[in-house]
Amino acid sequence: MRAALYPGSFDPITYGHLDIVRRARKVFDKLTIAVVENPRKGALFSAEERKRLVERALEEVGIEDVPVITYSGLLIECAKALGVVAIVRGLRATSDFDYEFQMALTNRDLDSDIETVFFMTAGTYCFLSSSMVKEVKRYGGDVSKFVPRCVERALEEKFRETA
């Protein structure tokens, strides 16, 4: 079985992320989404909240059989523990490439048996980021084109709490 890991902060998950999930699911027999626990990133949602949001978003858009986990520490260690052959990453623009290239080379140095596979985002989502979604929603904008309804509701609730 060809298994892959799709890691990210998913703070929150967007339609761009879900596009990568759909496409990676066609290439690999099994895909696991890993929500990173990184306290230095200052996420809006906790790792558990993000995990639940990813699960609900997958359900809302009809993507089945994709487990969601949280992890902290080295990504390559998580990948080894899961026995995956690849780490899936999405690329939106050239600005993503430099960071992702460095990360892929580092992961290859740590374990040359695990490949990094890049999926180019669909043109519709090439500008979309979780940060942009949060910023638009924070100021009352409509994000329904960018995220599933469950994510939009969670953002509304979170910003109501922090207001």
Q: Are 35 and 130 in contact (CB under 8 A)?
A: no
Q: In 3-state terms, what secondary structure has residue 28?
A: coil
So which residues are the catalytic ones?
Answer: 17, 41, 92, 130
Would you mind telling me the total number of residues written for the chain in this entry?
Answer: 163
Angle in degrees, 0-180, between the axes of helices 47-60 and 15-27, rounded to the nearest 10: 70
Helix H or strand E encompassing 21: helix 15-27
Q: Reduce the secondary structure of 29-56 to three states and give it as a string.
A: CEEEEEEECCHHHCCCCCHHHHHHHHHH
Q: Would strands 3-8 and 30-36 be described as parallel, antiparallel, or unpaired?
A: parallel
- Are 55 and 89 in contact by the 8 Å Cβ rule? The answer is no
